[in-house]
């Protein structure tokens, strides 16, 4: 309820702020007056208010800065555009779509201009957005008469509907060829074939762009199908491709953006035609460039990771953009917090716990040491020393700087609590993102760090005690914004920990251990890690055998200019990009066909926790695309942007490789659950490693148990 009221107040602020901002004011009263002024002509007042609401809504949906929306920056420009357009041509209900378009265009233009003016020249953008957007729409209206004197929606629909399909296809093909100034169907067909071979996503986007742009132009009164139109329409195609998959990560949101970009390109095309055609100059690619710059500038100011996601350096194709973005997400998720102790501890109170982890302090965990029966003490329960947790080291859960240390609070005898200094002795640690980790109830005199010390994850902070609101020795951990304890706890997760599940240690990732679970940090093994760090420049020779064919190839360990590490096959140039971290090995990206040694490596060992405990089990999720080849991959590429959650799932474990004596050899196995795509269906993948020499063997096994591929290390 309080949230709804706050939201309503935000909306009101943003609306009134738009009005008052015209005269550089933030006063809501002023805004009311100005709004009333616009409503002296109800139609234009509605146009103005409607534009504000559409613009703010669009800005909100596109993920722009909330504070900017609330301050009315987008609404201001949109208001002026709406009022201006209403002034130039009195609005009716039918002009609502055009006004909405104007509002959305204003949002994008405003953000783009702001990025340039404020970021580079340190100038306020004022109402330049209004100027540009109105100019664009006004000029465009001269060649797209539907913009200024809009017919009814029915007329628009009829205009689009009467557009015969063969005409549309012809227009599309001609537009494709028009980039090369070849405005005929044959060239268009060749271009289409080339485009489909290059990238299915680009091909689909080209169709989306053309249809949206052309339909918009048709509904706005331009005549489709003539040569002049083709030379204009290619702009829609290029705008859609560039903003749908090349400079953004392909997804549903980016496809919608592509459609919007095509429409904006159409508006710009209309405006440019008015200026240039009197001189006989075609618009060239000005609409496409303007639309692309506009959107890229505009999208830059949004938080990273929000769809549609901008790509800084475009990869070889939109498909690669998608794959790389998925792997970037994986890489970002690899870091995180670790458990703040050594060995296996039990969660005695979880988040939203029954005792003290409630309401504002609900995101917190209590840990203690228990024996097999879950008992927390051995011997006399009235002595602190009977509790095994007492005196055990407490370590830093993440890298950071010590913000606050409080020591000197005495331990309570078991069963008693200190309600005054309820956090007892604690350490507060500031992480790089400004949040603070709090470890409380420590033993007096045991805290080894002081404020200002830099700590790494796992560094000793102090010892578990029984100070503060603690009836028996335990560690309390939570994450909060402020350095002083008592503030609201933030939700958090541990990157990786091991839970014993019926005697089998299982890796759990990016979640919190639940009450009653016994969790331990997976202790890294430097020797296992060495298996996944081939010296850059080294060559690993393999003899591979797959469905009757045999061949030799070398895998070379290389690093590219960005510092990304990868293995490259000398036989077919396939590449496996990986991330070398202290406690886990991750394959971030694979460029390889499904029946190759690098694919087998990826399938078996896409994620390997670098621990020495061979009993560990874990689950992996692999991207779908590498499992497919040829035409199936091409077909799936078209729908992959819309199914970001489609993954191949595998259960993974270590195994002792038969026939290889010595602990330096270890095997990693992935058993695919569900039905992974591709034929024949894969059942499992295995890889054998040597601690110093790295990959020794890799094999793929189908669902029936037949070996599809085996690769063995030579030399």
Partner 1 sequence: MKKGKRAEKKRYERPQIVRHHSGFMNKFGRGSFQTPLREIDGVPVKKLIAEYGSPLFVISESALLKKFREAKRAFGPRYPKTTFAWSYKTNYLRAVCSVLHREGAWAEVVSPLEYEMARRLGVPGDKILFNGPAKTAESLSQAARDGARVHADHFDELHLLEKAAASLGRKLPVGIRVNLDAGIYPAWDRFGFNLESGQALEAARRIDASRTLTLAGLHCHLGTYILDASAYRRATVKLLDFAALLEAESGNGLSWLDMGGGFASRNTLHASYLPGENLIPSLHDYAAAVTEPLLERYASQDAAPILFLESGRAIVDECATLLTSVLAAKRLASGKRALVVDAGVNALFTAFWYKHELALTEDSTSFMEDTAVYGPLCMAIDIVRESVMLPPLTPGQILAVRNVGAYNMSQWLQFIHARPAVVMISEAGKPELVRERETLESMTGPERLPERLKGAGENIGG
> Which part of the chain contacts partner 1 (CB under 8 A), choosing from 276-284, 370-378, 596-604, 632-640?
370-378
- Output the smallest distance, CB 435 to partner 1, in A: 22
Among 140, 266, 392, 696, binds partner 1 (CB under 8 A): 392
Nearer to partner 1, 108 or 461 (CB): 461
How far is 107 from 130, CA to CA, in rounded Å? 9
SS3 readout for 55-78 = HHHHHHHCCCCHHHHHHCHHHHHH
How far is 631 from 492, CA to CA, in rounded Å? 43
Helix (H, G, I), strand (E, B) or coil at 123: coil
CB 637 within 8 A of CB 319: yes
- Output the smallest distance, CB 466 to partner 1, in A: 16
Structure tokens at 352: 């939203």
CB 340 within 8 A of CB 333: no
Site for partner 1 contains 445 (CB under 8 A): no
- Output the smallest distance, CB 448 to partner 1, in A: 8
Site for partner 1 contains 521 (CB under 8 A): yes
Side-chain half-sphere of 598: how many Cα atoms within 13 Å?
A: 27
Among 460, 493, 499, 693, binds partner 1 (CB under 8 A): 460
Beta strands, E only, 561-637: 565-569, 575-580, 584-591, 607-609, 617-623
State the CB neighbour count (10 A cutoff) for residue 445: 14
Site for partner 1 contains 501 (CB under 8 A): no
CB 522 within 8 A of CB 544: no
CB 370 within 8 A of CB 364: no
Site for partner 1 contains 515 (CB under 8 A): no
Name 617's Cβ contacts closer than 8 Å, sequence gap at least 6: 504, 505, 506, 507, 651, 652, 653
How far is 340 from 461, CA to CA, in rounded Å? 9
Nearer to partner 1, 130 or 532 (CB): 532
Among 68, 131, 399, 459, binds partner 1 (CB under 8 A): 459
- Output the smallest distance, CB 451 to partner 1, in A: 18
> What would you report as the CA-atom Rg of the chain, rounded to the nearest whole angstrom?
31
Structure tokens at 136: 């664009």
- Output the smallest distance, CB 111 to partner 1, in A: 45
Nearer to partner 1, 280 or 662 (CB): 662
Among 381, 524, 629, 677, binds partner 1 (CB under 8 A): 524
Pairing relation of β-strands 454-455 and 460-463?
A: unpaired
* CA angle (240, 246, 252) in 5-degree steps: 65
Nearer to partner 1, 53 or 339 (CB): 339
- Output the smallest distance, CB 388 to partner 1, in A: 6
- Output the smallest distance, CB 529 to partner 1, in A: 8
How far is 440 from 189, CA to CA, in rounded Å? 70
> Which part of the chain contacts partner 1 (CB under 8 A), choosing from 159-167, 427-435, 594-602, 659-667?
659-667
State the CB neighbour count (10 A cutoff) for residue 140: 26
Among 526, 559, 635, 643, binds partner 1 (CB under 8 A): 526
How far is 529 from 610, CA to CA, in rounded Å? 6
Structure tokens at 97: 């779509």
Site for partner 1 contains 401 (CB under 8 A): no
Number of chain residues interacting with partner 1 (CB under 8 A): 29
Among 385, 488, 501, 560, binds partner 1 (CB under 8 A): 385
- Output the smallest distance, CB 465 to partner 1, in A: 14
Site for partner 1 in 329-348 (CB under 8 A): 341-345
How far is 654 from 526, CA to CA, in rounded Å? 17
CB 579 within 8 A of CB 565: yes
Among 318, 388, 462, 468, binds partner 1 (CB under 8 A): 388
Nearer to partner 1, 184 or 664 (CB): 664
- Output the smallest distance, CB 391 to partner 1, in A: 7
How far is 532 from 611, CA to CA, in rounded Å? 12
Nearer to partner 1, 316 or 456 (CB): 456
Site for partner 1 contains 369 (CB under 8 A): yes
Nearer to partner 1, 448 or 554 (CB): 448
Sign of CA dihedral 451, 453, 456, 460: negative
Site for partner 1 contains 372 (CB under 8 A): yes
> Which part of the chain contacts partner 1 (CB under 8 A), choosing from 190-198, 454-462, 499-507, 597-605?
454-462
Site for partner 1 contains 456 (CB under 8 A): yes
How far is 34 from 248, CA to CA, in rounded Å? 40
Nearer to partner 1, 407 or 523 (CB): 523
Among 452, 658, 662, 715, binds partner 1 (CB under 8 A): 662
- Output the smallest distance, CB 468 to partner 1, in A: 21
Nearer to partner 1, 99 or 344 (CB): 344
> Which part of the chain contacts partner 1 (CB under 8 A), choosing from 10-18, 318-326, 368-376, 585-593?
368-376
* Contact code string over 573-602 relative to partner 1, x by CB under 8 A: ---------x--------------------
Site for partner 1 contains 439 (CB under 8 A): no
Name 681's Cβ contacts closer than 8 Å, sequence gap at least 6: 675, 702, 703
- Output the smallest distance, CB 587 to partner 1, in A: 21
- Output the smallest distance, CB 523 to partner 1, in A: 5
- Output the smallest distance, CB 610 to partner 1, in A: 9
How far is 448 from 459, CA to CA, in rounded Å? 10
Nearer to partner 1, 252 or 526 (CB): 526
How far is 150 from 141, CA to CA, in rounded Å? 10
Site for partner 1 in 228-247 (CB under 8 A): none
> Which part of the chain contacts partner 1 (CB under 8 A), choosing from 107-115, 146-154, 275-283, 382-390?
382-390
* CA angle (126, 131, 133) in 5-degree steps: 115
Question: In terms of Cα–Cα distance, which of 41, 129, 151 is closest to 86?
Answer: 41
Q: What is the dihedral of CA 232, 233, 235, 240, to 10 degrees?
A: 160
Residue with tokens 């103005």: 48
Structure tokens at 446: 């045991």
Site for partner 1 contains 663 (CB under 8 A): yes
Among 523, 572, 651, 702, binds partner 1 (CB under 8 A): 523
The binding site for partner 1 (CB under 8 A) comprises: 341-345, 369, 371-372, 378, 385, 388-389, 391-393, 456, 458-460, 520-521, 523-524, 526, 529, 582, 661-663
């Amino acid at each position: 309820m309080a949230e709804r009221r706050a939201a309503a107040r935000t909306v009101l602020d943003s609306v009134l702020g738009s009005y008052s901002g015209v005269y550089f004011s933030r006063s809501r009263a002023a805004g009311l007056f100005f709004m009333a002024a616009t409503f002296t002509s109800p139609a234009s007042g509605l146009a103005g208010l409607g534009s504000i609401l559409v613009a703010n809504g669009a800005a909100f949906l596109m993920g722009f800065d909330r504070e900017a929306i609330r301050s009315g920056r987008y609404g201001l420009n949109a208001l002026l555009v709406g009022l201006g357009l209403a002034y130039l041509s009195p609005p009716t209900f039918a002009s609502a779509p055009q006004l909405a378009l104007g509002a959305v265009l204003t949002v994008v233009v405003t953000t783009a201009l702001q990025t340039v003016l404020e970021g580079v020249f340190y100038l306020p953008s004022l109402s330049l957005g209004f100027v540009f957007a109105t100019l664009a729409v006004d000029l465009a209206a001269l060649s797209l008469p539907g913009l200024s004197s809009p017919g009814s929606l029915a007329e628009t629909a009829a205009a689009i509907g009467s557009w015969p399909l063969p005409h549309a296809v012809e227009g599309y093909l001609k537009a494709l060829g028009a980039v090369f100034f070849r405005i005929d169907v044959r060239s268009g067909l060749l271009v289409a074939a080339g485009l489909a071979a290059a990238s299915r996503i680009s091909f689909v986007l080209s169709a989306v762009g053309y249809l949206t742009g052309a339909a918009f132009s048709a509904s706005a009164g331009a005549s489709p199908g003539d040569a002049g139109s083709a030379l204009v329409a290619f702009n829609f195609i290029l705008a859609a491709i560039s903003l749908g998959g090349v400079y953004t990560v392909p997804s549903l949101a980016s496809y919608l953006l592509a459609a919007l970009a095509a429409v904006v390109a159409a508006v710009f095309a209309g405006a440019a035609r008015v200026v240039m055609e009197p001189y006989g100059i075609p618009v060239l690619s000005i609409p496409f460039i303007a639309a692309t710059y506009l959107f890229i500038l505009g999208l830059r100011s949004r938080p990273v990771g929000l769809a549609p996601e901008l790509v800084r350096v475009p990869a070889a194709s939109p498909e690669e953009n998608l794959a790389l973005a998925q792997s970037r997400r994986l890489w970002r998720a690899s870091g995180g917090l670790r458990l703040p102790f050594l060995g296996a501890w039990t969660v005695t109170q979880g988040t939203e716990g029954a005792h003290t982890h409630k309401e504002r302090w609900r995101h917190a965990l209590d840990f203690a040491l228990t024996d097999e029966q879950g008992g927390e003490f051995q011997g006399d329960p009235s002595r602190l020393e009977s509790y095994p947790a007492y005196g055990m080291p407490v370590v830093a859960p993440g890298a950071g700087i010590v913000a606050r240390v409080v020591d000197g609070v005495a331990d309570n005898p078991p069963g008693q609590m200190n309600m005054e200094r309820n956090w007892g002795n604690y350490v507060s640690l500031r992480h790089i993102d400004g949040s603070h980790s709090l470890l409380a109830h420590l033993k007096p005199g045991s805290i080894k760090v002081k404020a200002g010390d830099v700590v790494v994850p796992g560094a000793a902070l102090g010892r578990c005690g029984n100070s503060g609101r603690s009836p028996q020795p335990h560690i309390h951990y939570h994450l909060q914004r402020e350095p002083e304890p008592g503030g609201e706890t933030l939700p958090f997760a541990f990157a990786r920990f091991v839970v014993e599940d019926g005697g089998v240690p299982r890796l759990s990732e990016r979640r919190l251990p639940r009450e009653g679970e016994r969790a331990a940090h997976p202790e890294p093994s430097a020797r296992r890690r060495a298996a996944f760090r081939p010296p850059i420049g080294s060559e690993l020779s393999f003899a591979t055998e797959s469905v009757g064919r045999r061949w030799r190839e070398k895998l070379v360990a290389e690093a590219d200019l960005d510092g990304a590490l990868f293995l490259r096959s000398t036989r077919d140039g396939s590449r496996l990009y990986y991330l070398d971290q202290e406690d886990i090995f991750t394959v971030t990206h694979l460029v390889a066909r499904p029946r190759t040694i690098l694919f087998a490596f990826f399938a078996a060992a896409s994620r390997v926790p670098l621990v020495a405990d061979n009993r560990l089990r874990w689950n992996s999720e692999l991207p779908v695309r590498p499992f497919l080849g040829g035409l199936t991959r091409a077909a799936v590429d078209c729908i992959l942007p819309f199914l970001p959650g489609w993954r191949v799932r595998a259960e993974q474990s270590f195994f002792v490789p038969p026939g290889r004596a010595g602990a330096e050899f270890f095997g990693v196995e992935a058993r695919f659950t569900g039905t992974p795509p591709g034929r024949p269906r894969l059942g499992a993948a295995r890889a054998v490693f040597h601690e110093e020499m790295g990959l020794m063997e890799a094999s793929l096994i189908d669902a029936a148990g037949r070996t599809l591929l085996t690769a063995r290390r030579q030399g």
